[in-house]
Amino acid sequence: MTVLVYALHYEGEFNKNSLGAVSEGARLAKELGGEAAAVVVGEGSDLTDELCASLGRYGATKVYRARGPEGLAQPVVDVMERVIQDDGYRYALFGGGLLGFEIGAGLTARLNAGVTMEVTAVKAQDGKLVAERPILQDSAVVDVGYAGEPGIIIGRLNAFDAVESGDSAAAVVDVDVELREHSTKAVMVRRGEQRGADVNIEDAEVLVAGGRGLGKAEGFELCEELAGALGGAVAATRAVVDAGWYPYAAQIGQTGKTVAPKLYLAAGISGAIQHKVGMQNAENIVAINKDPNAPIFEFSDLGVVGDLNKIIPKLTEAVKARKG
């Protein structure tokens, strides 16, 4: 076995980020002439054989299922350490996100391994993996190789596409790992939801993002109405998050989340580089801005110059009318 991937599930589904990591792990393992496996950890009844085996559709041939608290990093570190030591994986791959970063960092320390974070692409070269990592605010990319094994690769959020490569089921293997004492110290009290964070912006196919051009916190109601009509979610720039207009969970950019929706619509956003790095992989970029020289128009597929207060309500009505 070559590549081990962590897959996060919640309420009976794997998230898009994890499915992307499994797909990428399978692709890379194949290039190295090996196979990829996934680790899932949870204690709920939703962690069924069927759910675990479904990772086979994304290329995993084996899934290690361990019972333990969901959504916490240290128990997963314990499980992955054990699997790597027992079955000798050459690389561990994570799809990014806060949990991926935390588990990857913990595993790196535990195994005294080499790690690359914020990886945007991985290639096989001379029988080894080489990770590509943007540096200097994404103005350059460096290739990072590993001197020893295992190598830990932590992707940027949603850097890897989820690709269904077949309909075979992965073999599900239950592993019984005794968690370390300190790994059981943190407990999940509850999963909180806040305005704007009830939909995961990383998984949304349509995002309506609001910036300082909305004028005030209440301006986000325009974005919420439009996102509702389009069946999407609302995102934000750092400027409005810092101003307390919208929660941090919705922030896109260098110090926020990286997204790749099918449609990203910017309302009153200038298009600063720190925002751009988080949304430039959107398939279609539409911007509404009253300033014809706003930088966002330089990387938009469709630019509308005008006052968002006039345009967005009309657009929302038009979408609703079209949907009947």
Ligand X SMILES: Cc1cc2nc3c(=O)[nH]c(=O)nc-3n(C[C@H](O)[C@H](O)[C@H](O)COP(=O)(O)OP(=O)(O)OC[C@H]3O[C@@H](n4cnc5c(N)ncnc54)[C@H](O)[C@@H]3O)c2cc1C
Contact residues toward ligand X (CB under 6 A) are 211-213, 237-240, 251-256, 268-270, 272, 274-275, 278, 288-291, 294, 307-309
CB of 117 to ligand X, least distance (A): 16
CB of 245 to ligand X, least distance (A): 9
Q: Which two tokens stand for residue 108?
A: 């790196």
Cβ distance to ligand X smaller for residue 186 or 302:
302
Q: What DSSP assignment string belongs to 26-40?
A: HHHHHHTT--EEEEE
CB of 153 to ligand X, least distance (A): 23
Cβ distance to ligand X smaller for residue 68 or 278:
278
Distance CA 178, CA 28 (A): 30
Q: Which residue is nearest to ligand X (CB)?
A: 253
Q: Is the dihedral of CA 268, 272, 274, 275 positive or negative?
A: positive
Cβ distance to ligand X smaller for residue 184 or 274:
274
CB of 102 to ligand X, least distance (A): 19
Which ranges constitute the DSSP H helices of the chain? 16-31, 49-53, 73-87, 97-111, 220-230, 238-242, 273-279, 308-323
CB of 286 to ligand X, least distance (A): 13
Could you give the 3-state DSSP secondary structure of residue 261?
A: coil
Measured between alpha carbons, how far is residue 192 from residues 44, 188, 196, 249 in Å?
Answer: 18, 10, 12, 11
CB of 235 to ligand X, least distance (A): 9
Residue count of the chain: 324
Cβ distance to ligand X smaller for residue 54 or 270:
270
How far is C-alpha 17 from the geometric centre of its chain's CA atoms? 4
Cβ distance to ligand X smaller for residue 168 or 255:
255
Cβ distance to ligand X smaller for residue 165 or 309:
309
